């Protein structure tokens, strides 16, 4: 027995507690059901036919990871390893960096294995320079696992693209 079986106010028990004749109340209820279904027949379908029509996604959509650049196309990433440490997927993010003569950080390797990413977004939260971000690109399928390991070249957006991204979100970077 489910919970509504003794609840007189529950809509599923409407017929049992109807005032009028139960046969006519039942016919009325079925007719109302028909009317509701028929009302939906002429309505426009809400389906978006995906390959032809792209869905409108939220700005906060958790899609492909990418590295933003400074406006002059230089790297924003400082190689601090914060994203790699906070990542729940073990060694998903791998970063090699060294410091140049001016003690400025130089990132030589930055790879993300998108095939294992769970799109939790922790890396984007923790990044101290707001460099690693998620785009709304969700078409990530490829023919092999190796092809899903994106390197720094694949991940990095150009200065112009990064500026567009920041402008779209009304976003003030912490460090530039």
Q: Which residues pair with 111 in a beta bridge?
A: 94
Using rule CB under 8 A, residue 36 touches other proteins: yes
Using rule CB under 8 A, residue 1 touches other proteins: no
Using rule CB under 8 A, residue 14 touches other proteins: no
Query: Residue 76's CB: how many other CB atoms inside 10 A?
Result: 22
Site string for other proteins, 74-93 (x = CB under 8 A): --------------------
Max CA distance (Å), the chain = 92
CB of 54 to other proteins, least distance (A): 16
* Residue reference for tokens 């190796």: 146
CA separation for the pair 139, 142 (Å, rounded): 9
Using rule CB under 8 A, residue 21 touches other proteins: yes
Q: Is 66 helix (H, G, I), strand (E, B) or coil?
A: strand
19 or 146: CB nearest other proteins: 19
CA separation for the pair 176, 174 (Å, rounded): 7
End-to-end CA distance of the chain: 64
CA separation for the pair 149, 64 (Å, rounded): 12
Using rule CB under 8 A, residue 49 touches other proteins: yes
Among 3, 9, 11, 40, binds other proteins (CB under 8 A): 40
Using rule CB under 8 A, residue 53 touches other proteins: no
Using rule CB under 8 A, residue 23 touches other proteins: yes
Using rule CB under 8 A, residue 6 touches other proteins: yes
Using rule CB under 8 A, residue 22 touches other proteins: yes
55 or 88: CB nearest other proteins: 55
DSSP assigned state of 69 = B
Residues 112 and 106: beta-carbon distance below 8 Å: no
Q: Which stretch binds other proteins (CB under 8 A): 31-39, 87-95, 106-114, 132-140?
A: 31-39
36 or 144: CB nearest other proteins: 36
């Amino acid at each position: 027995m489910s919970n509504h079986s003794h609840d007189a106010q529950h809509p599923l028990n409407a017929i049992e507690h109807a005032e009028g004749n139960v046969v006519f109340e039942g016919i009325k209820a079925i007719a109302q059901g028909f009317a509701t279904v028929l009302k939906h027949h002429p309505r426009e379908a809400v389906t978006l036919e995906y390959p032809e029509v792209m869905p409108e996604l939220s700005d906060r959509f958790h899609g492909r990871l990418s590295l933003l650049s400074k406006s002059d196309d230089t790297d924003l990433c400082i190689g601090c390893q914060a994203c790699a440490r906070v990542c729940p997927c073990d060694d998903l993010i791998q970063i090699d960096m060294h410091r140049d003569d001016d003690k400025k950080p130089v990132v030589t390797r930055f790879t993300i294995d998108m095939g294992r990413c769970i799109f939790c977004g922790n890396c984007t939260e923790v990044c101290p320079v707001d460099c690693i971000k998620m785009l709304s690109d969700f078409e990530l399928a490829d023919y092999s696992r190796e092809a899903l390991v994106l390197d720094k070249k694949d991940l990095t957006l150009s200065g112009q693209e990064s500026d567009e991204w920041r402008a779209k979100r009304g976003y003030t970077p912490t460090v530039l």
